Chain A
Amino acid sequence: MASNELTRRDMLTVAAVGTGALVGGSFSSEVASAAEPAKTGSGMMDISLRVNGAEHRLSLDPRTTLLDTLREHLHLTGTKKGCDHGQCGACTVHIDGRRVNSCLTLAAMAEGAEITTIEGLGDPDHLHPMQRAFLEHDGYQCGYCTSGQIMSATAMLKEQWGESDAEIKEAMSGNICRCGAYKNILAAIRQARKA
């Protein structure tokens, strides 16, 4: 975990996610070296990124992932780092309206695309219906996975899935919640879908 802005609450959650989030699946033994930061190199790259409607010109090490760019360079820390290996969904953002894992995307690969993060979805005065539904249904405990859950859920509703709870659960399986708030997450998504 390379961020300097983490709150204590975040830190506690990160520790929990880092050690136990995936136990039970065969991923568990693979998470060990997850949060190692990229070594800094000399060859920087000029990259323009369009995030939440605003254009940003950045000089980045080509190794920088979209996730680290959002958090460390653009200070959009709503997007979270859980595993850094595609195994948890905490880093979910939209690229051209589709949900992806920003931890496995290089910033350079996202040049020219429309990137949306949780900060671009809504703000406290103008919540997105999915954000409101998560609030109303208590779709979280610690909140660490929540931005990823919400980004995943809003994009998922535009994909080809059926109406049943089983379909929602399957469609949302790429977002692990260490706190196990799945029941309320499901209720929130059901409500937002009707909105």
Chain B
Amino acid sequence: METFTFSRAADPAEAIMAGAAASTAQQGAEVRFVAGGTTLIDLMKLDVETPKRVVDINRLPLAKVERAPDGGLKIGALVRNSDLAHSADVQRDYPVLSEALLSGASGQLRNMATTGGNLLQRTRCIYFRNTDTPCNKREPGSGCSAIEGFNRNLAVLGTSEQCIASNPSDMNVALTALEATIVIQGVQGERRVPIGEFFLLPGDTPNRETVMQPGDLITHVLLPPPHPGARSHYLKLRDRASYEFALASAAVVLASEGGAIRHARVALGGVGTRPWRSPEAEAALLSKPATRATFAAASEAAVRGAKPYSQNGFKIELAKRCLTSALATATA
């Protein structure tokens, strides 16, 4: 681990000011906030993250889950994943989020991991985590070791010739299906970014993963009011039953009326370079009866355009089955 200075932010302004001194908030940032530490400390031990300054934000007053005036939910950036999963509001109105959180990591890690940190967790691509190997995300221009290498756990949707890393988060998939908004406090005040615009595709700059700028502090995540009558579900498929990242996952929110689907939100995990919203699957569901045939057609639509690599082609079929099954469960 490289050396750094450690300080504790007393208020958001202090954190933002410290962060603003960095040249980037993306890969290579010289200043990092630490929340749960489960991504940051892990990557600092591997010398993948080498901040000169670490700012502890755990004392900031951002650890509450509150009802928003519009009937939605306002989730503080420092709410721990375990507390969010067990929040009565989330369990009642957004069960897909609770299921996604509880499917992630372990009991210990969920007690540490925060909403803000989970949004910004990094890929589990083994070459990104190993400084001895070329990786465009870690070291732009060095090449991608995964395209011809170990890519079994990487993406088939949204990939580029520079990077095929998957976004590993479960929470982000549920937040995508729930159309969350990320509230960011920065040097120029507050911005509200829809989650669909928060994550960037790798393209030619896989080192840039989000819209985060130096100084930006995520303060909250907002959920819109629950859709009336909607039912939701998160299904995660992986190599072992627990304590393992998704090979494929699906978050769905559905409402039916008069025998037809009237509201559909679909997001896939484990298969995309960012949490993968599928408007194609949603269009294939709308106005259709909630039948196995409809679900199969939506799943087919969701993976149209997916690109298999040497080891991960199986994920295309797996994602389809995962989505079909999640849709069936949500409407059962």
User: A interface vs B, CB < 8 Å?
Assistant: 24-27, 29-30, 32-33, 36, 38-39, 41-43, 45, 61-63, 65, 84-86, 89, 92, 98-101, 104-106, 108-109, 152, 155-156, 159-160, 169-176
Q: Is the CB of B108 within 8 A of A174?
A: yes
Q: Is the CB of A106 within 8 A of B6?
A: yes
Residues of chain A within 8 A of B4, CB atoms compared: 62-63
Q: Is the CB of B45 within 8 A of A84?
A: yes
Give the distance in Å from the alpha carbon of A171 to the alpha carbon of B112 in the complex: 15
- Interface size for B (C-beta < 8 A) is 41
Give the distance in Å from the alpha carbon of A109 to the alpha carbon of B55 in the complex: 10
- Looking at the complex, which of B189-197, B236-244, B260-268 is the stretch in contact with chain A? B236-244
Residues of chain B within 8 A of A65, CB atoms compared: 41
How far does the Cβ of A131 sit from chain B's closest Cβ, in whole Å?
A: 19
Q: Is B307 an interface residue (CB 8 A)?
A: no
Q: Is the CB of B6 within 8 A of A159?
A: no
Q: Is B304 an interface residue (CB 8 A)?
A: no
Picked from A24, A109, A169, the residue with its CB within 8 Å of the CB of B37 is: A109
Give the distance in Å from the alpha carbon of A86 to the alpha carbon of B110 in the complex: 11
How far does the Cβ of A66 sit from chain B's closest Cβ, in whole Å?
A: 10
Give the distance in Å from the alpha carbon of A83 to the alpha carbon of B124 in the complex: 16
Q: Is B188 an interface residue (CB 8 A)?
A: no
Selected A-B contacts with CB under 8 Å, 25 pairs:
A26-B152, A26-B153, A26-B244, A38-B1, A39-B3, A45-B6, A62-B6, A63-B4, A65-B41, A84-B45, A85-B42, A86-B42, A92-B108, A100-B112, A104-B37, A105-B37, A109-B34, A152-B107, A160-B86, A170-B241, A173-B107, A173-B242, A173-B243, A174-B105, A176-B243
A43 with B1: in contact, given A26-B244, A99-B108 (CB under 8 Å)? no
Cβ-closest chain A residue relative to B85: A160
A25 with B153: in contact, given A100-B108, A100-B111, A108-B56 (CB under 8 Å)? no
Give the distance in Å from the alpha carbon of A133 to the alpha carbon of B42 in the complex: 33
Cβ-closest chain B residue relative to A85: B42
Q: Is the CB of B106 within 8 A of A174?
A: yes
Further contacts, 5 of them, CB under 8 A, given A32-B130, A108-B56: A33-B45, A62-B3, A100-B112, A159-B107, A173-B242
Q: Is the CB of A109 within 8 A of B244?
A: no
Residues of chain B within 8 A of A61, CB atoms compared: 3
Most chain A CB inside 10 Å of its own CB: which residue of B2, B82, B107, B243: B107
User: B interface vs A, CB < 8 Å?
Assistant: 1-6, 34, 36-38, 41-42, 44-46, 54, 56, 58, 82, 86, 105-109, 111-112, 124, 126, 129-130, 150, 152-153, 239-245
Residues of chain B within 8 A of A98, CB atoms compared: 111
A25 with B107: in contact, given A65-B41, A85-B45, A86-B38 (CB under 8 Å)? no
Residues of chain A within 8 A of B245, CB atoms compared: 26
Q: Is the CB of A170 within 8 A of B242?
A: yes
9 closest A-B pairs by CB: A174-B106, A173-B242, A41-B3, A62-B6, A173-B243, A104-B41, A98-B111, A174-B108, A63-B1
Give the distance in Å from the alpha carbon of A85 to the alpha carbon of B48 in the complex: 13
Give the distance in Å from the alpha carbon of A174 to the alpha carbon of B113 in the complex: 14
Give the distance in Å from the alpha carbon of A29 to the alpha carbon of B152 in the complex: 12
Residues of chain B within 8 A of A101, CB atoms compared: 38, 108-109, 112
Residues of chain B within 8 A of A63, CB atoms compared: 1, 3-4, 44
Cβ-closest chain B residue relative to A63: B1
Q: Is the CB of A86 within 8 A of B109?
A: yes
A26 with B107: in contact, given A43-B3, A101-B38 (CB under 8 Å)? no
Most chain A CB inside 10 Å of its own CB: which residue of B3, B108, B109: B108
Give the distance in Å from the alpha carbon of A168 to the alpha carbon of B276 in the complex: 32
Q: Is the CB of A106 within 8 A of B107?
A: no
